[in-house]
Amino acid sequence: MVVKEFISELRTAFPDVEMEQAQTNCDLGNNGYVHVYPKSEDEIVTILQYANEHGKKIVVQGNGSKKGFGGEKETADILLSLSKYKGIVEHGAGDMTVTVKSGTSFQELQEFLSEYKQQVSLDPSWPKYASIGGVIASNDSGPKRLGYGSARDAVIGLRIIYPDGTIIRSGGKVVKNVAGYDMNKMYIGSMGTLGVFTEVTLKLRPLPKKESVVLISFPEGSFEDIHAFAVKILDSMMEPVSLEFLNPSLAQKLIGKKQFTLAISFEDVESSVDYQVKMIQDMKPDQTTLSILLDNEELQSFWNQLYSISPNGVEGNLETKETEACLKVGVKNLSVLNVIRDGQMLQDSHNLVVTAHGGLGHGICQLNLKGAREDVASVITNLCQIVGRLKGYVIIKHAPLSLRQEINVWGDKPTYLFLMEGIKSKIDPNHVLNEKRFLGGI
Amino acid sequence: MVLKENDVKNEPACTTTSLSNYLWSDAPDENKWADCVHCGMCLEACPTYELTGQEQHSPRGRVHLIQSVAEGKLEVNEQFMDPVNQCLDCRACTTACPADVDVGGLIEEARGQIRQAMPLKGWKGMVSKLFLEELFPYPNRMNSFGGLLKFYQKSGVQNLVRKTRLINIMPSHLVEMEAVMPEIKVPVRKLFKNEEVIKAKGTEKGTVSFLTGCIMDVMFSDINESTINVLTHNGHNVSIPKKQTCCGALHVHAGDRETGRKLAKQNIEAFKDADKVIVNAAGCGCMLKDYPELFREDAEWKEKAEVFAAKVEDVSKYVHDNGYEKPKSEIKTRLTYHDACHLAHGQGIREEPRKILLDIPGVEMVHMPNSDRCCGSAGIYNITNPEMAGAVLERKMENVPDDVDMISMGNPGCMLQMAIGVEKYGRSQQVVHTIQLLDWAYKKDAEKEKSNKGGEK
Amino acid sequence: MPLKLKTKDKHIKKLAEIVNGPKSILYLKEDLLAYDCDGFTIHRHMPKAVVFPKNTEEVAAIVKYCASHNLPFLARGAGTGLSGGAIPINEEVIISLVRMKRLVHVDLENRRAVVEPGFVNLKLTNSISEKGYYYAPDPSSQYCCTIGGNVAENAGGAHCLKYGVTTNHILGLEVVLPNGEIIEISSDGIPDAPGYDLLGLLTGSEGTLGIVTKITVRILKNPEAKQTVLAYFDKVSDGSYAVSDIISAGIVPAALEMMDKIAIEGVEAASFPVGHPKDIAALLLIEVDGIEAGIDEQIKEILEVCKKRNVREVKVAQNEQERARWWANRKTGFGAMGAISPDYLVQDGVIPRSKLPEVLERINQVSEEVGLRIANIFHAGDGNLHPLVLFDSRKPGETEKALKAGTACLKACADVGGSITGEHGVGIEKMEEMRFVFNEEEIQAQTAIREVFNPKNLLNAGKIFPSPGRCVEIKKEMKATSVKSEEKLLEFS
C-alpha cells in the first residue's frame, strides 16, 4: 500500500520515466520497491535529486549481475536500473578510445569494437549481463589482468552524477592526463556509493593477431614443482597475458581434468605466440600433461566457461537448495598458489564444491563456493584466517543477503577508514546511494 | 707581486648594471648561466649533492646563487662562499648537462671574486699561500721542497716522526697524506736538464713538447720518466721547454685567477714554438685547455691562449691517436680504471686509456661502478676541505672492486688521493698511472730482447 | 642538547631539534635561495626553512609540529618538477625527502620493490637490471628525479605508451597525512585493497593530500628484445599521419616520440647530438619491444607505414650504443633548449592522436602571433605535446609573452577535447587553465577531497586549483611578479 502510494507519487513526479513496482524477489537483497529505467541523463539527474531531497534511498544496478555483492538491506526505496541507458557515445577509432553509456553490456561493447579490430582490455565475469558501469563500479577483473591491467588502467574518463544531481566529469578523452586529482581512481570500485556513472571512457587496445592458451596439468602432490615452474615462467622473457592457476574442480569443468592446472595464455603477433608456446612445450615439467588451445572456437568456449563459473544475480538460484557464494581474494602474486590449494583442501574437508582460480602474476583469486549454508559460511571463515596469515584480504563478491548480514563482506576496517567516510560524507551526506553496501558500512 | 699585472684593477670596477654585487673585474659571466634552465640533470652527477642532498651544494644551485649575486639578491659573504668553495670542480655536471653549462668556469670566476672580497685567513690561508704562491710557481723551490721531502724520507726523520708519534699531533688528513707519500726521486727536468731534445727511438715521427708539471715532477718523477720513455719508444722526440712553469690549475681553482693568468702567460710563451704540448696530468691538461677562459676580458691574450690550447693533448690520447707499439710482454694483473674528472669530464677522454691498458698482454680489466665519480682529490681540495673530501673518497672506495691488484688513472692528484683511500680502508691495490703500466711492459720487452740476444750469443 | 644555530626563530630551533642537528636544516637566506623554485623557474619564492628528515617518524614529527603551529609546509624531492609544485609560495617549511633514499626491499618473485621517496628513479632500474628487471615509468629526468616526486606528479615518460604512467605501477604507499598521522595503504603491494582507491587518489595529487614516505612499486621483466627506429620527414603532417597509421595498424610501440625542426636544432646544438639532418621538418623515434620473434614483423610494418607517408630516411638502430645515443639526445631535449635560448617554458597538453596535425598547426600560429619560437618535443604516441616556448627573460615583456603563448597552446589542446597536462602536473603554472577542462562544480568536487585529507590546507596550499572568482586576479598578479620575484605573490590559505 505504502509502495503503491510511493510509485504513484514517483509517476506524478516523473511522468516520462519508465518504472514498475518490484515483482520478483530473490534471496540477494539490494532490491527496490520501485524499479526505474531512465533513458536519459536528465532523468537520472532528476531522480537522484528527488531522492536526495526526499530522504529516499537508491540502489543502483545495471542488469543485476552483481546483486549479491555487498549491502545489508533487503530493499531500498528505488532501484535505479541503467539497463536501458545504453549505447556507444563516441568511438575514436584512430585515437583508440571509446565513450559508452554505462548500461551497455560488456559483451555488446566488445562486439561493437571487434568490428574495428579493437577491444577493451578487461575480462570481467559474465560479459553478457555485466554492464560496463557495473564492471567499473565493482572493479571486476579477470585472468588477463596480468597482461592488460585492471579497470584503473583502462578507464580514462567518467561522467558521474552526484546525489545532489551535479554532473561531474573526471579524466577526459585522452590516454594521459594529470589535470587535477585522479578522481577516476576514486570512483572505480566505489560500488555506486559516490554517484551514478552515466558514461565511461576507456582506452582501447588492438585485438591480438593471434591467441593461444597452453594448459599444463600437474599430478597430485607436486606443489613445489608448480611453484618452481611458475617462478621459472615469470622470470623468463615470456610475456603471458595470463598465468592463471585452476583448482582441480574447476579444471575438470573446463577441460575435463581433475588436476591442478596452469592456464598460460599468449596474445601477440603470430610468430611471437608460436615461439612462446614452443618455449612452454620445451620447459614442460615431467609427469605433467600439456594441451594447447589454438582454434578460435576452443578458445572462445574455454574463456566463456571460465567467465561464467561464478554465481550471478541475474540467473537466480531460488530452485536449488544449495547456497552459492563467490569470493575475491587478494594476496601477493605467488601466494595465489597457497590460496587455491587451501581452497581445494577446504572443499575436501567440508562437503561442498569449490571452483577456484587465481593469477600468479597479479595476486587476485576467485573462489566459488557451493554447498550447504553452514558449510559455505564455515569455509569463508576458514579462508579469511588463511588469507589473513598471508596478509591478504577476502571480499565476498556474491552471497545471499542472509549470509552477508552475518559475515562481513569487506573484511576488517583499515586505520584510514575515516578518510573514506570523509569522502562519502562530502559527496553523499544523506547516504542516498547504495547504503551500507561498501567497506565499513559506507 | 701578483697585483702588478697591468690588467688588474685595484678598485672595484662596477659593471654597467649596478645591481650586481660582484665588485671586481672578471666577474662570473652572464652568458654562462643564461644557458642553465634549472632542469636538474646535473644533480645526481654532483658528488657534494650526493652527500648533502642540498641544492646549494648542487651545480644548478651554485649557478643560481652565483647568478643571484649578480642580480643583487645576495652578497659575496661567508655564507655564499661555502657552497662555492665546497665545489670539487670535478666537472661531472658539465658532462651531465644537456646545455653544456660551464659550471666549472662560473665557480672559478666566483671564487676569484670571493678571493678578492675575502682574502683567505687562518690555517687554510696559510697552507694555500704556502703551496700556491710560494711554492708551485717556482721550479727551483719545488726542487728544494722535493729535496726536503726526500731528506725527510731518507734521513730517518720520517721514521722518527712516525715512531715518536709526533704524527699524532698532525691534522688527520695530513697524516693520511704523509702515509702514502711516494718516494721522492730526481725530477725529469733535472735529469734531462742538459738535453735540448730527448731523441726518439727508431723512426722519428716528430717532436712534442712536454709539460712536466710542478708536483708531478717532484713527487711523481718516475711517471714523467715513463711518459718520456713511452713517447720516445713510439718515435716522438721530446723537448722540455725550460721556461715552463706550473699550469696554474690549483690557483685558479682556489680563486687566485691573477696568479693563474701570470702562469698561463709564462707557459704560453714557453711553448710558443711547440707543435704539440703533451701533458700527463689530467688536471694540468684541462687547465691548459681552459686558458682562453682566463683571458676572456683580454682579447690579445685570449687569442694567444686559444692557439696554445689547441696544441694541448693528454698523453694517453696522443699516444692512442698516433699509433703505438703494442707491448709483447705480459703484465699479469687484474686492474680497474678510475676516470680522473679532468680527463673524463674535462677533456672527454674515456676510452683511449682503457684501450691502451687492454692492449697490454695479461691485463684484465674489472669494471668500476661510477668510475667517473670524483675521488675527492680535486687539486688541494683535500687539504682545504678535508671533511667533504674524506666523505667523497669513502664513496669512491666503495666502488673500487675488491679483487683487483691495481687501480689505474691519469692524474697525480687522484693517485695521491686514491692511495690515501687504499691505505685508510685497508685495501691492497697498487695505484698506477696508465702510461706507467705501458712503460713497464715496454721495459719488460726490452729486457726480454736483451736476454734473448744474450742467449743467442 | 641545545643546537648552535645562527637564528633566534623558535620554530627553526624546534624543527632543528626534530631532525637532530644543524646539518639537517637550512634557514639562512643564502642557502634558502637555492630552494626558491623547482624546474619551473618563472616564479620564485623563498621558503621559511628546509628540513632534511631521515625517516618517516621525523617527517611525521615535522608535520605535527607545523600543523599545530599553523606553519605552511610542503614536501620536495629532487626539485625537477616542471609546474612549480614544490615552490613555497606561502613561505612554507620545505620538507626535503632526498635523504630518505634507501631501496628498502626487492621481491623479484612477486615483482615488487619498496623504496623511500628520495630514491632516484633510474637507480631502481640500475639496482635490478642485472637480474633482468626494471621499473617502467621513465620521465626524461629519471637520471635525477625521485620516485616520491614521481608519485606526487604521477610522472609519465617516453615508454608510457605501452606500459602506463606512474600510477599504473604504484602498489602501496606509506603516507604521512597533513595532521602528522602515518597510514599504510597496501604496503604489501596487494592490488585492489577494499575501499576507495586512495592509492590512485594520492598518486598525482601533487603533494597536496599527504607526504609519501615509502612506496611499493611494480617492477617488470626486461623485454626479450628491443628495436628502435628513427624516421626523418620533410613535412610535419606526414610525420603526424605516420603516428596514427602505426597505431591503427594494431602495433603498440613501447615509445613513439616526435621532434620538430626547432627542437632538432636545439638537441643538435647541445651535448648529445646525433647528427640529424638540419633541414628536416620532423623526426619520429619509435621503439618496439617484446618477444624477439615478433619484433621484426612489427618493424617491417612500421617501415612500410613511414614509406607510405613519404619518409625521407628511416633507419633501425644497429646496436645498443646507437640506440642509447638516440635516446640521450631525446631525453635531454628540454635542457638542450638552453643551448639555443636563455629560457624556455614547456607546456604539457594532451590531445587525441588524430588531432595532431591540426593542433601542431595551431601552435605554429601561436608562435607567429606572439613572436616567439616554439619547439616541439613530445610523446606523439599518446598525444602528449610538449611545446617549448623559447624566450629571454632579460628582455622586458618576453616572459609575459611566453606565458601567453603557453596558455594559448593549452587552449588549443583543450579545444579539441584534450587535457592541459599529461605528466607535468598543474602546480602553480596551470591553475587558471584548469578552467579550460573543468567547470566550477568539478573543481569543487576535487577541492572537497582535499578538505578531507588536508582540512587546514597547510600542506602545499594554493596549488592545482584556481580559487573561485579570484583566479583572474591571481594570474595577473603572477604574471607581474614573475619578473620581480622578490615580491610576495599570493596570500593563499
Q: Encode pLDDT of A30-61 as tens digits.
A: 999 999 999 999 999 999 999 999 999 999 99
- Which residues 195-234 of A have a C-beta within 8 angstroms of C? 205-207, 209, 231, 234
Check whether residue B70 and residue B97 sit in a common domain: yes
Mutate to test the interface with A, among C105, C173, C257, C291 (most CBs of A within 10 A): C291
Q: Is residue A352 part of a domain?
A: yes
Of A152, A194, A330, which is closest to C190 when you measure between CB atoms? A330
Establish if A182 belongs to a structural domain.
yes
**The whole model's pTM is what?**
0.92
Q: What does the pLDDT read at residue B123?
A: 62
Radius of gyration of chain B (CA): 22
| CATH number reported for the structural domain that contains residue B84 in this entry | 1.10.1060.10
Q: Of the ranges A215-224, B109-118, C451-460, which is most confident?
A: C451-460
Query: What is the average pLDDT across A50-74?
Result: 96
pLDDT tens readout for residues B388-419: 888 999 999 999 999 999 999 999 889 988 99
Please state the rounded mean pLDDT for residues A92-120: 97
Q: Do C14 and C2 touch, CB atoms closer than 8 A?
A: no
pLDDT of amino acid B152: 62
User: How many structural domains compose chain B?
Assistant: 4
In a domain, A42, yes or no: yes
Q: Is B427 helix (H, G, I), strand (E, B) or coil?
A: coil
Q: Is the pLDDT of residue B154 over 80?
A: no
C10-96: CATH class: alpha beta
The predicted structure's pLDDT at residue B134: 73
Which of A344-358, A391-405, B16-30, C201-215 shows the lowest per-residue confidence on average (mean pLDDT)?
B16-30
pLDDT at B384: 77
Distances (CA, A) of A250 to A247, A353, B392, C30, C338: 5, 10, 61, 69, 62
Q: Does C126 touch chain B (CB under 8 A)?
A: no
Q: What is the pLDDT of residue B14?
A: 42
d(CA B211, CA B214): 9
pLDDT band at B150 (very low <50, low <70, confident <90, very high): low
Beta-carbon separation of C198 and A420 below 8 A: yes
For residue B46, being part of any structural domain is answered with yes
Tally of domains within chain A: 4
Task: Tell me, yes or no, whether B289 and B264 share the same domain.
Answer: yes
Evaluate whether C197 touches A188 at the Cβ level (below 8 Å): yes
**Rounded Cα–Cα distance for residues B352 and B335 (Å):** 16
The verdict on B203 and B277 lying in the same domain is yes
Cα dihedral B134→B139→B141→B142 (10° resolution): 90
Q: What's the rounded mean pLDDT across residues A332-350? A: 95
- In this complex, the chains that touch B, judged by 3 or more CB pairs closer than 8 A, are C
Is A160 found in the same domain as A96? yes
pLDDT in single tens digits along all 493 residues of chain C: 455 788 999 999 999 999 988 899 999 999 999 999 999 999 999 999 999 999 999 999 999 999 999 999 999 999 999 999 999 999 999 999 999 999 999 999 999 999 999 999 999 999 999 999 999 999 999 999 999 999 999 999 888 999 999 999 999 999 999 999 999 999 899 999 999 999 999 999 999 999 999 999 999 999 999 999 999 999 999 999 999 999 989 899 999 999 999 999 999 999 899 999 999 999 999 999 999 999 999 999 999 999 999 999 999 999 999 999 999 999 889 989 988 998 899 999 999 999 999 999 999 999 999 999 999 999 999 999 999 999 998 899 999 999 999 999 999 999 999 999 999 999 999 999 999 999 999 999 999 999 999 999 999 999 999 987 544 444 444 444 443 333 333 333 3
Q: Is residue B103 within 8 angstroms of chain C, CB to CB?
A: no
8 Å CB contact of A150 and C192: yes
Flag if B41 and C332 touch (Cβ within 8 Å): yes
DSSP A312-341: -SSS--SSS-SEEEEEEEE--GGGHHHHHH
Task: Confirm whether B309 is domain-assigned.
Answer: yes
In this structure, is the dihedral angle defined by the CA atoms of residues C185, C188, C191 and C194, taken in order, positive or negative? negative
The pLDDT, as a whole number, for residue B348 is 94
The pLDDT value recorded for residue B99 is: 87
* Chain C residues near residue B40 by CB distance under 8 angstroms: 39, 78-80, 141, 144-145
DSSP B133: I
- In chain A, residues 115-174 whose CB comes closer than 8 Å to chain C: 117, 139, 141, 149-150, 152-153, 162, 166-170, 172-174
Distance (Å, whole) CA A395 – CA A328: 5
| Cβ-defined contact of A426 to C448 (cutoff 8 Å) | yes
Residue C112's nearest CA partner among C270, C220, C28 is C220
Burial of B451 (0-12, 13-18, 19+ CB in 10 A): exposed
Taking a C-beta distance cutoff of 8 angstroms, is the pair C66, C454 a contact?
A: no
In this structure, the answer to whether residues A341 and A393 fall within a common structural domain is yes
Torsion of CA A169, A173, A175, A178, to 10 degrees: -40
Residues spanned by the domain of B421:
333-445
A195 and A219 assigned to the same domain: no
Residue of C nearest to B69 (CA): C30
C26 touches chain B (CB under 8 A): yes
Check if the beta carbon of residue A135 is closer than 8 Å to that of residue A202. Answer: no
Q: Given this model, what pLDDT does residue B299 score?
A: 95
In chain B, residues with a C-beta closer than 8 Å to the C-beta of C333 are 98
Q: How many angstroms separate the Cα of C42 from the Cα of each of B25, B232, C172, C429? A: 29, 58, 34, 9
Q: Extract the C-alpha cell encoding B7.
A: 690588467
**Domain-embedded: residue A8:** yes
Q: Domain boundaries in chain C?
A: 10-96, 103-221, 223-340, 434-481
Domain that holds residue A335: 323-406
Mean pLDDT of B329-336: 94
A45-84 residues touching C, CB cutoff 8 A = none
Q: Is the Cβ pair C192, A276 closer than 8 Å?
A: no
Looking at residue B349, which CATH number applies to its domain? 3.40.50
**Does B97 contact chain C (CB < 8 Å)?**
yes
Q: Which residues of chain C have a CB within 8 Å of the CB of B59? A: none
- Into which CATH architecture does domain C103-221 fall? 2-Layer Sandwich (3.30)
Residues paired with A59 in a beta bridge: A79
In total, the C-beta contacts within 8 angstroms joining chain B to chain C are: 114
Element (H, E) at B150: helix B139-154
Taking the C-alpha atoms of residue C292 and residue C282, their distance in angstroms, rounded to an integer, is: 29
- Domain assignment present for A313: no
Q: State the fold for domain C223-340.
A: Alpha-Beta Plaits (3.30.70)
B109 and B136 inside one domain: no
For residue C265, the model assigns a pLDDT of 95
Chain C residues lying within 8 Å of B54, measured CB to CB: 26, 31, 34, 50, 52, 96
Mean predicted lDDT score pLDDT of chain B? 86
Confidence of residue B381 (pLDDT cuts 50, 70, 90): confident
Q: Give the model's confidence band at B135: pLDDT under 50 very low, under 70 low, under 90 confident, else very high.
A: confident
> How far C3 CA lies from chain A's nearest CA (Å)?
37
HSE-CB at C239 with a 13 A cutoff on CA atoms is 33
Question: Would you call C449 and A178 a contact, using CB atoms and an 8 Å cutoff?
Answer: no
pLDDT for B217 equals 80
* Residue B181 confidence class, pLDDT cut points 50, 70, 90: low
CATH of the domain at A284: 3.30.70.2190
The answer to whether B187 and B217 have CB atoms below 8 angstroms apart is yes
B89 & B28 share domain: yes
Residue B216's pLDDT band, with cuts at 50, 70 and 90, is confident
Query: What pLDDT does B258 receive?
Result: 92
Beta bridge partners of B363: B333
One domain, residues A80 and A140: no
Shortest alpha-carbon distance between residue B48 and chain C (Å): 13
Taking the C-alpha atoms of residue A365 and residue A125, their distance in angstroms, rounded to an integer, is: 13
